[in-house]
Chain A
Amino acid sequence: MTQAEIKLCSLLLQEHFGEIVEKIGVHLIRTGSQPLRVIAHDTGASLDQVKKALCVLIQHNLVIYQVHRRGVVEYEAQCSRVLRMLRYPRYIYTAKTLYSDTGELIVEELLLNGKMTMSAVVKKVADRLTETMEDGKTMDYSEVSNTFVRLADTHFVQRCPWVPVTENSDPGPPPPAPILVISEKDMYLVPKLSLIGKGKRRRSSDEDAAGEPKAKRPKHGTDHKEPIPDDGIYWQANLDRFHQHFRDQAIVSAVANRMDQTSSEIVRTMLRMSEITTPSSAPFTQPLSSNEIFRSLPVGYNVSKQVLDQYLTLLADDPLEFVGKSGDSGGGMYVINLHKALGSLATATLESVVQERFGSRCARIFRLVLQKKHLEQKQVEDFAMIPAKEAKDMLYKMLSENFMSLQEIPKTPDHAPSRTFYLYTVNILSAARMLLHRCYKSIANLIERRQFETKENKRLLEKSQRVEAILASMQATGAEDAQLQEIEEMITAPERQQLETLKRNVNKLDASEIQVDETIFLLESYIESTMKRQ
């Protein structure tokens, strides 16, 4: 793991889980797989702290354990999974767009808690939804269960590996750590639960307040006595499926930008049809015939067969090669080139970065070298129609920032520099890696800056929160306007200004983090797809 990634992981763990977990987590990421005692010894933390931290990390799928020879259990951290924590808001928002508020809350609960049983999720989500509803209305468990089942069917949530049921009672000592198994077919199998009930509000109206504490006590007792029907069956969010969804979204919007809405709809239909049949890491989808596509187009899209065929031909002939034609049966068999599409997206990202950083003329040179693969300096000047001096300057700038590289082609065996061709070229994979590394550094910087800003104004923030608390409590007890005014004036005008500035800055930094994370997703997908093909 690079230093930048480790730094970013450390910041994320610290923000979300506290110092102790961060210390243990970062140590594990740095050193790889280690047993418990070694971790405690190396980090200097007490054994209890290490145990607690490891429990939290395992609960959130950030650390996995393995039993080695002689019964030693070793723990290994997964750095890439820690970096996914940046993307949680995006996952939750996607669930919201697909399955509305219920789906959003289900995914949020699963992400915040790592693993949960279905009944626990349903209960919590129903309670939360009930609170936001108007007085008197409650959320039924069945509705939440239905959404959960739909999420499982579309593979957005999956079961965690479980403890295998041993038929014969082994008289031997239990293993130090359970070996969890998972089978493909059972991964999305929802247990048959009859969850009957409604969501409860946490706070009832004022009349019930007195009766509640006493009523709750026996209720807690009964709750503990009931056996949980799906004990041991834990669910987690399936991040790969979300990534597949993001990738599809990116491809569709790219096609929409390049061509028009109809073609993007066609591509979206093709992707939807291949969701189940194609594994997410395949270089291209299964071939789909034009007839099938025509049948699967969304209802209400009045595109005739001929027009569809024309669109498909256009898409297949496009130099970007998102769609390819693989045969002629069934009216023409078409595939979507996922790997090429990811490559184009990564290239577009690189071009955009060059343009924003160095200017549009540099971008022109960059695109030129991309297109022609290898060019000499003289040729660059000629093709780009930029004066020699400026072209040279720009080339060297991009070379120094590692967007470009030099390829030497010697004319003579002694590699004399005066008799060697020096060609400029762009290696997309290495440039993508370099850019990804920079993205990690940027996010680490953004997080640090945000923490710095918050720390600087900590006193002011606390004061404003206290004032708000007082205001709210006084409003609840029905204070007069004059008193409220007095309390509000406790924060002076320049302080208000400062708070405004702080809020604006923090928002900007947060939004930038989200934006950089989108770039990270594209680049990582491209690199992963390329590495798989090699």
Chain B
Amino acid sequence: MSLCPAGRHRGKWKMRKKIPRIWKTHLRSFLLKANRQEIPNNVPGEGEREILQGCYLSLLATIYGTPSMCQGFHIHYFQTSRQCCKVFLTGSLNTQAPSTMASRGGGRGRGRGQLTFNMEAVGIGKGDALPPPTLQPSPLFPPLEFRPVPLPSGEEGEYVLALKQELRGAMRQLPYFIRPAVPKRDWRRLPRELKIRVRKLQKERTTILIPKRPPKNTEDKEETIQKLETLEKKEEEVTSEEDEEKEEEEEKEEEEEEEYDEEEHEEETDYIMSYFDNGEDFGGDSDDNMDEAIY
């Protein structure tokens, strides 16, 4: 079947062959609505659109007359079933398109639903089963047709893999990894002794303590840090405050101190409680025992 203007009635449509009536009605009503730009809401069964061959442009091109108005149109899904035909449009409908269907009222009953091109040329033979309509967006994990190729294994691959994981861990330990600061506390409500003021003394102590760190196992530091952060801070603040009661200097803003101290403290979490008791005995007693194994 084909749609084309008949010889005598130029500009009017005439069906050459018989097509289902419902098909004609739907098509015509659809095109009327298209003209009024009501498409997105009124097309029955609107859903996913699939791009088809550009030849389908002909449907609208010939109906609307001038090719310039069809720039940017893509007819997406043109399905003939026994009962209805659905045509989806994307792109902009040119508002200057003449109301061609209306003016072709004379063709009613005769040239309805004719196409300018041969349907067989596109490859849809008469009575052919077309793919089912898609009525919903494609699934989140679409089933794979072909299994992916296995990843390259071998010495190089494994080395690079191990290197990558090691780098990731290493970067978290570097000073460039900035951890978010402890939230501001309302110091009016808390005992004043919990506030950390001195930085210098702490700094000195950490440099001495650093060589002692390696014997400790550093793997669980990170995890425990995030979990017990606040609690430890409180405890350390208490113990370190006891040490620095004598020398108190107001240095920078509290937030800055807290942040800095927090970062220092995070490196010192290995040395909780028993270790900080008087700040004097870092003489290697019980480095690798008990307190470490809290769980």
Contacts and interface: CB of A to CB of B under 8 A. Distances in A.
B8 interface: no
Contacts of A512: 151
A482 interface: no
A435 B165 CA distance: 27
Given A16-B168, A511-B161, A465 B116 contact: no
A389 B70 CA distance: 27
Contact of B219 (A20, A392, A469): A469
B55 A466 contact: no
Contact of A112 (B174, B178, B180): B174
Contacts of A472: 217
B123 A416 contact: no
Nearest to B283: A210
B170 interface: yes
Interface in B39-63: 50-58, 61-62
Interface string B141-183: 0000110110110001101110111011011101011111100
Given A90-B160, A112-B167, A210-B283, A515 B53 contact: no
A18 B256 contact: no
Nearest to B176: A56
Interface stretch (B17-25, B30-38, B206-214): B206-214
Interface residues of A, number: 75
Contact of B178 (A46, A56, A209, A476): A56
Contacts of A359: 145-146
Contacts of B293: 466, 469-470, 473
B156 A93 contact: yes
B255 A20 contact: no
Given A18-B178, A359-B146, 6 more contacts: A17-B171, A17-B176, A358-B146, A417-B54, A468-B219, A511-B161
Interface stretch (A2-10, A116-124, A211-219): A211-219
B91 interface: no
Nearest to B168: A15
A46 B167 contact: no
B223 interface: yes
Contacts of B53: 377, 396, 422
A88 B165 CA distance: 11
19 contacts: A18-B180, A89-B163, A113-B174, A202-B214, A357-B146, A358-B146, A417-B54, A417-B55, A417-B58, A418-B58, A422-B54, A461-B223, A462-B220, A462-B223, A463-B295, A473-B289, A473-B292, A508-B151, A512-B151
A88 B211 contact: no
A406 B214 contact: no
A53 interface: yes
Given A359-B145, A417-B58, A465 B178 contact: no
B215 interface: yes
Nearest to A215: B211
A419 to B, nearest CB: 9
Contacts of A477: 288-289
Nearest to A53: B178
A46 B258 CA distance: 14
A392 B160 contact: no
B104 to A, nearest CB: 17
Nearest 4 pairs of A and B residues by beta carbon:
A417-B58, A415-B67, A469-B217, A89-B164
Contact of B176 (A48, A60, A392, A511): A60
Interface in B65-105: 66-68, 70
A397 to B, nearest CB: 10
Contact of A17 (B165, B178, B227): B178
B139 interface: no
A514 B160 contact: yes
A489 interface: no
Contacts of A153: none
A414 interface: yes
A58 to B, nearest CB: 11
Contacts of A15: 168, 171
A456 interface: no
Contact of B57 (A414, A417, A506, A507): A417
Interface residues of B, number: 67
Interface in A86-114: 88-90, 92-93, 108, 112-114
B271 interface: no
Contacts of A417: 54-58, 61-62, 116-117
**Most chain B CB neighbours (cut-off 10 Å) among A418, A507, A510, A512:** A418
A399 B50 CA distance: 10
B13 to A, nearest CB: 15
B295 to A, nearest CB: 5
B54 A406 contact: yes
A112 B170 contact: yes
A418 B54 contact: no
Interface string A439-462: 000000000000000000010011
Contacts of B146: 356-359
B161 A46 contact: no
B137 to A, nearest CB: 14
A400 interface: yes
Contacts of A18: 177-180
A52 interface: yes
Nearest to A412: B67
Given A112-B170, A512-B151, A416 B62 contact: yes
Interface string A211-236: 01100110010000000000000000
A348 to B, nearest CB: 14
A472 B288 CA distance: 10
Given A46-B255, A408-B54, A416-B62, A17 B284 contact: no
B55 A414 contact: no
Interface string B3-24: 0000000000000000000000
B223 A465 contact: yes
Interface string B262-295: 0000000000000000000011100011001101
Contacts of B165: 506, 510
A109 B53 CA distance: 56
B177 A16 contact: yes
Contacts of A108: 167
Interface in A162-221: 202-203, 209-210, 212-213, 216-217, 220
B155 to A, nearest CB: 11
A514 B176 contact: no
B148 to A, nearest CB: 7
Contacts of A511: 151-152, 157, 161
A466 B219 CA distance: 8
B62 A514 contact: no
